[in-house]
A and B are shown apart, each in its own frame.
Chain A
Amino acid sequence: MTAPALPRFRTCGATGHRIDRQAELLVRFNAVVAVVALLVGAVAALLLILTRWQAVHLLPAVWYYRILGVHGMNMLIFFIIYFEMAVLWFAGTVLLDARPAAPKFGWFNFGLMLVGSILVEAMQWSGRADVLFTSYPPLKAHPLFYLGVILFAVGALGVVGQFFATLVIAKREKTYKGSLPLVVYGAMTAAIIAVITLVHGAAVYIPTFLWSIGLIPAVDPEVYRLLWWALGHSSQQINVAAMVAIWYMLGALTVGAVVLNEKVSRSAFVLYILFISMASAHHLLVDPGFSSAWKIVNTSYFMYMAVLASMVHGFTVPAGMELGMRLRGYTDGLFGWLRRAPWGDPGFSALVLSVVVFGFFGGITGVTIGTEQINITVHNTLRVPGHFHATVVSGTAMAFMGATYYLLPLVFQRKVAFWKLAQAQPYLFAFGMLLVETGMTFAGSFGVPRRHWDISFSQAPFDVQFSPAVDLFLAIMGIGGILAFTGALSFILIAVKSVFLGEKVTEFPRGAIVAGIPQGLTNPPVQPANADALNEAMHAESRGIAGATPGTLVLVAVFLVAFMLYYFTNWKLLTFLWKIG
């Protein structure tokens, strides 16, 4: 009892939020481990891209498949879920001015996740789990691989439970008035989906672990695929919900985005919870274990209700930004609000790039290739990674990066290092990834398989000659991969330098422009005093449908036309195949 105890809370210099120090530490540790996983995953990505780019063909076969497993685990599980744990701690405590539930248990869970991840890494790198990310039985890995995943999932489930407990505490201690903010509501959606997902994870990995140590004789390969994808795809829906929550958050912080209508946005989140875990079917459309009726109902999230939810957010997020800016006086023309937006703020550019690429590329390709019949032309080709890199990387990871530029000053209390680089990073990363996704999608439409070491088939008994166009698309993918890797590495450098060697920042001088502090913190987008009256006027009946957000209406119309064109083109291409029934 020598050092005086620090007060439990500190007050944020920019937002006035009351921040619990334990919660803040949990956010920091989870975010740092997420960035470490991102680094491992990104190096793996570069090696993979340089192998799939057939002209380079870097890795030998064994290491290609091994690194492919490492890449999947680090990116889709470790990076994303550690970051989401940070988001849950942040949204549950900081945004609600609340204390965390049982922080010591939080450290216990963090420890479980850490032990689990280290086990998985050890098994993968040592070649005892060469079963790729999906580990479909009867391919068998070392039992410690499955055990590692189970420990990680249990820890994550524990944190999700603590998040719910934190919400209860905040409500009971009345740390906020009224209903949860929309961003926290979105995080809660992600947490609920996480529970659904992780329960499926237990249902699939526990029997598989028992099988690997010889306690049960076999795991049905098709049942495994059904349950595994209820984990594997549904966990991507945690990302979607978390990403949309971050969209609303970054919109608010950077340009003062307003919530158009709480009912609409919250109902859309509820649709995610109700339907999105049916997405397991996306991977089983050309599988022998399921009837067409089952496939149609499930792949469409029961009549596309989760797609409807995304299309709703795809309107309300940009419309909220537009309205927020119009209320603050950016009223010129259809797109004046966009033209005069803070494009040099990496939090803002990351937000816009995430929304656009997720919607136009990830969303449209996802719905199209997830159509029962169209999937015949797509299953296990490079079009599949082409799609999900557009959602998970260009969408989710990009949004997480944008959020980090605000978390660094707010939670780590550090200036963003290498500020000029940080300003360019979202553009570099998004452009590189766009090339990767384009290259993969087009190469895949020639039938180039995913997860394949050698499409020159030099060791195969029969020759396979892909169109020369494939070489071009793989080169586009390769060049894009190098750019995206540079972007990811820049992000990691910026984050590491800021966290460990960054300039301390506790004051956010209003009105100043400070290198290393995103503009939304020093020049917060505050609405004018008469905002409510202005809002009423813009929504006046006489101004018609385009009264408040005309620019966004144009944007979503363009989106819908692109969607229809891509969707029906793919139906047409399908009809050129053999008759199949």
Chain B
Amino acid sequence: MLTKVHTGLDPVPGIWWKPAHKAERVWVAIAFAWCMVLFAMMPLFHWKGGQNPSGVRRRVDPKAFYARTMAFAAQYKVGEDRGLPIVQPPPGADVYLVGLTFQWYPILKLQRGKEYTLHLSSLDVNHGFSLFPLSINFQVVPGYDYGLRVTPTAAGDLRIICNEFCGIGHHTMVGRVIVVDDAGKPVADNRRSTIPNGGAR
């Protein structure tokens, strides 16, 4: 027995809790099944997939994290570019990268195919870690250490764009990650590229 024909503007007389027509029942069932697929995909990918934002996460004092990063940079420094140390830690190491207005510190040199634990945090405000051109994106929050186990899959000279608004110089905040191949062959070292207008607009 169907409800009397009416629109959504009409008050509904009597009891409206009535069985739905087959078409609706089937659609609700299909939609429900699809929702279960959507839901199952996430745990499944943790089990079988290679890209998960799980990481090792803990609170950290921003100043302590900054000091740890400075010590790390001093320990593994292999060169310098634009006044920033280029740091090459051994495979498997804990790697530290700190965001501060408006800089990513230090420059990282990693080896293709090797796993590192990349610790991200901020000294001051929220920043956004966005690895260009791969578009790998993580939120960098002051007071929180996000330790991600990463394995670079291809050599290249990459950039870190800040993609969380961090103040008026936000758009100047770019860092650098160099991934070398198995032979340790350096890729273009970026030294030849110049800053247009000397950095002024």
Contacts and interface: CB of A to CB of B under 8 A. Distances in A.
Interface of A: 61-62, 65, 95-96, 130, 132, 136, 138-139, 176-183, 186, 220-222, 225, 245, 248-249, 251-253, 256-266, 284-292, 295-296, 299-300, 303-305, 307-308, 311-312, 315-316, 319-320, 324, 327, 367, 371-373, 375-381, 445-447, 449-455, 457-464, 466-467, 527, 531-532, 535-536, 539, 544-549, 553, 556, 560, 563-564, 567, 571, 574-575, 577-581
Most buried by B among A186, A450, A461, A567: A461
Top 6 A-B pairs ranked by shortest CB distance?
Answer: A248-B8, A252-B7, A449-B163, A304-B35, A288-B146, A447-B135
Given A288-B139, A462-B190, A574 B51 contact: yes
B2 interface: yes
B151 to A, nearest CB: 4
15 contacts: A65-B170, A139-B126, A259-B12, A262-B3, A262-B16, A286-B138, A292-B46, A312-B27, A316-B24, A320-B8, A372-B52, A377-B136, A380-B128, A380-B139, A449-B161
Contacts of B6: 258-259
Interface stretch (B69-77, B85-93, B171-179): B171-179
A260 B36 contact: no
A285 B136 CA distance: 13
Contacts of B195: 458-461, 463
Interface string B47-73: 001111111010000000000000000
B30 interface: yes
Contact of A287 (B18, B27, B141, B173): B141
A372 B128 contact: no
A214 B65 CA distance: 26
Contacts of A580: 50-53, 136, 148-151
A296 B9 CA distance: 38
Contacts of A256: 7
A526 B70 CA distance: 76
Given A179-B13, A380-B139, 16 more contacts: A65-B165, A221-B125, A222-B143, A256-B7, A261-B24, A263-B16, A288-B55, A300-B42, A304-B36, A319-B23, A449-B130, A453-B171, A461-B199, A545-B26, A577-B51, A581-B148
B181 interface: no
A527 B36 CA distance: 39
Contacts of B174: 457, 460-462, 464
Contacts of B115: 579
A130 B45 CA distance: 39
Contacts of B171: 61, 452-455, 457, 459-460
B53 A376 contact: yes
A176 to B, nearest CB: 4
B78 interface: no
A575 B12 contact: no
A513 B52 CA distance: 59
B4 interface: yes
Contacts of B163: 379-381, 449-452
B132 to A, nearest CB: 5
B126 A136 contact: yes
Nearest to A377: B135
A265 B6 CA distance: 14
Nearest to B113: A579
Contact of B38 (A180, A285, A304): A304
A375 B10 CA distance: 42
A579 B153 contact: yes
Given A263-B18, A288-B144, A380-B128, A567 B38 contact: yes
B119 to A, nearest CB: 10
A311 B30 CA distance: 10
Contacts of A186: 8
Given A252-B8, A288-B120, A263 B141 contact: no
Interface string B17-40: 111111110111011101110110
A222 B165 contact: no
B57 A65 contact: no
Interface in B120-163: 120-121, 124-126, 128, 130-139, 141-146, 148-153, 159, 161-163
B11 A579 contact: no
A378 B137 contact: yes
B5 A531 contact: yes
Given A375-B53, A457-B174, A580-B149, A181 B8 contact: yes
B94 interface: no
A563 B130 contact: no
Contact of B175 (A462, A553, A575): A462
B11 A179 contact: yes
B183 interface: no
B144 to A, nearest CB: 4
B185 interface: no
Nearest to A97: B11
B151 A579 contact: yes
Contacts of B42: 296, 299-300, 371-373
B130 A222 contact: no
B157 to A, nearest CB: 9
